[in-house]
Amino acid sequence: MSSQANRSNHQHISEPQQIYLDYAATTPVHPEVLDKMVQCLSFSGTFGNPASRSHSYGWHAEELVEHAREQVAELIHADKKEIIWTSGATESNNLALKGIAQFYSGKGKHIITSQIEHKAILDTCAELEQQGFEVSYLQPEKQTGLITPEMVQHVIRPDTILVSLMLVNNEIGTLTNIEEISEITRNNGTLLHVDAAQGAGKVSIDVEKTAIDLMSLSAHKIYGPKGIGALYARRSPRVRLKAQIHGGGHERGMRSGTLATHQIVGMGEACRLAKTQRIQEQQRISILRGKLFTGLQDLTPIILNGHETQHVANYLNVSFADTQKADLIINTIKKFAAVSSGSACNSHQSSPSHVLTALGVAPYLAENAVRFSFGAYTTEQDIETVLTALKAVLQPNTRNTQQPLVQLI
């Protein structure tokens, strides 16, 4: 990196703090989570290797790991023996898809997913296609991003071994009707994997009531640390996986590697807090989302990307339709708030979001889209600040002098 680029980065860091509206990318660690983690790092704390069975340092670490396993299981109404520790949702997705495909390849080689999944799913499916598997990519409903049970029913086959769909889309917040889809997969003898990285802590999850066989979870989306996640794998009826990481037989042979006690404890505590605060937080954030959406509508023509009602409160993805003012609007927003023009996992790419493209959003609207995502530290004043900044540059009193470019959603 050039010295000029370095100076530019330092200047950016020293600028006044932006309002954080990118909780879909990551969340800050909750203070209570941090306290629990710190207690597992020093010599005076529980720093031992959980796999060390010959002394108390290892025993105490193992106790904390198993307690955290139970906390994660409680968030999704699972048995703690069904929780496998991973490095995050990306690894969980890889283990689920590759592990199932390779173990059940004798039964069939057909997999179903959708065009708007996270890249951890899409890239893994592309790799499985190279290994001889056939993947059907469901096209979502235009504009809303819904993946319906009827879509799954239309393409499922006797040789379909796995359906993998996300619970909440990471760019538009649209919810998938997993409950009805699970009935289809169970009746067909097909396994169902759900990427719940963006859904855990936001919607009620019960893997016992719903016939979900595998579920990916991530700590850093729910105020836990980065670098830790989990995969739920059903024990009855038992789901079998071919391990992808070997060396030591940890996690019942399904994922080898020394367990990071401090991160695991952090994820457990984050799940505990998410379970207790979910309903209240969704109600609070829903008000903030509505305030921002209405405020933007009053200022400029926008199009909602995602479903109007079937969504979580945390995300709002809109395209700014006034091509003459879109750059001004987006630059103003980014001056005051940390937002995303797509998913953080694709931020290095200049091409339009694959999610918005699959929704049929016109290229110019996809390029002028912004994802706002709200969380624990978002306030009504934050929303007011963004809207006030936009009012200052858009002069709303002249807005209706011209015909709107598109119908407001």
Residues 285 and 265 in one domain: no
What's residue 1's pLDDT? 42
Domain boundary among 232, 256, 272: 272
What phi and psi values does residue 301 have, to the nearest 5 degrees?
A: -65, 125
Residues 204 and 122 in one domain: yes
In 3D space, the residue among 118, 26, 50 whose CA is nearest the CA of residue 377 turns out to be 26
What's residue 269's pLDDT? 98
What's residue 397's pLDDT? 54
CB 317 within 8 A of CB 305: yes
Report the pLDDT averaged over residues 153-162.
98
More confident position, 28 or 253: 28
pTM for the structure as a whole: 0.90
The proportion of the chain whose per-residue pLDDT surpasses 90, expressed as a percent, equals: 86
3-state SS, the chain, equals: CCHHHHHHHHHHHCCCCCEECECCCCCCCCHHHHHHHHCCCCCCCCCCCCCCCCCHHHHHHHHHHHHHHHHHHHHHCCCHHHEEEECCHHHHHHHHHHHHHHHCCCCCCEEEEECCCCHHHHHHHHHHHHCCCEEEEECCCCCCCCCCHHHHHHHCCCCEEEEEEECECCCCCEECCHHHHHHHHHHHCCEEEEECCCCECCECCCCCCCCCCEEEEECCCCCCCCCCEEEEECECCECCCCCCCCCCCCHHHCCCCCCCHHHHHHHHHHHHHHHHHHHHHHHHHHHHHHHHHHHHHHHCCEEECCCCCCECCCEEEEEECCCCCHHHHHHHHHHHEECECCCHHHCCCCCCCHHHHHCCCCHHHHHCEEEEECCCCCCHHHHHHHHHHHHHHHCHHHHHHCCCCCCCC
Report the pLDDT averaged over residues 26-32.
97
pLDDT in tens, 336-385: 999 998 444 554 556 789 999 999 999 999 999 999 999 999 999 999 99
What's residue 45's pLDDT? 95
The number of domains in the chain is 2
87 pLDDT higher than 50: yes
Residues 39 and 22 in one domain: no
In 3D space, the residue among 114, 120, 171, 110 whose CA is nearest the CA of residue 141 turns out to be 114
Residue 354 domain boundaries? 3-28+274-401
408 pLDDT higher than 70: no
pLDDT in tens, 383-407: 999 999 999 999 755 444 443 333 3
What's residue 248's pLDDT? 82
Report the pLDDT averaged over residues 112-129.
98
What's residue 16's pLDDT? 59
What's residue 352's pLDDT? 82
What's residue 398's pLDDT? 47
Residues 307 and 384 in one domain: yes
Catalytic residue (choose from 40, 125, 271, 345): 345
Average pLDDT, the chain: 91
pLDDT in tens, 286-312: 999 999 999 999 999 999 999 999 999
Residues 159 and 210 in one domain: yes
Residues 73 and 142 in one domain: yes
Residues 352 and 322 in one domain: yes
What phi and psi values does residue 365 have, to the nearest 5 degrees?
A: -75, -35
pLDDT in tens, 232-250: 999 999 999 998 989 888 8
What's residue 351's pLDDT? 74
Residues 97 and 230 in one domain: yes
CATH, residue 78: 3.40.640.10
CATH, residue 293: 3.90.1150.10
Report the pLDDT averaged over residues 125-138.
98
In 3D space, the residue among 245, 287, 268, 275 whose CA is nearest the CA of residue 380 turns out to be 287
**Is 407 contained in some domain?**
no
Report the pLDDT averaged over residues 117-145.
97
Residues 257 and 292 in one domain: no
What's residue 339's pLDDT? 97
**Is 408 contained in some domain?**
no
What's residue 88's pLDDT? 96
The structure tokens 């037989």 sit at: 249
pLDDT grade for 140, boundaries at 50, 70 and 90:
very high
**Is 409 contained in some domain?**
no
23 pLDDT higher than 90: yes
What's residue 341's pLDDT? 81
165 pLDDT higher than 90: yes
Residues 242 and 219 in one domain: yes
More confident position, 398 or 322: 322
What's residue 41's pLDDT? 96
Domain boundary among 216, 241, 272: 272
116 pLDDT higher than 60: yes
Report the pLDDT averaged over residues 114-129.
98
Per the annotation, the verdict on 345 as an active-site residue is yes
Domain boundary among 272, 295, 326: 272
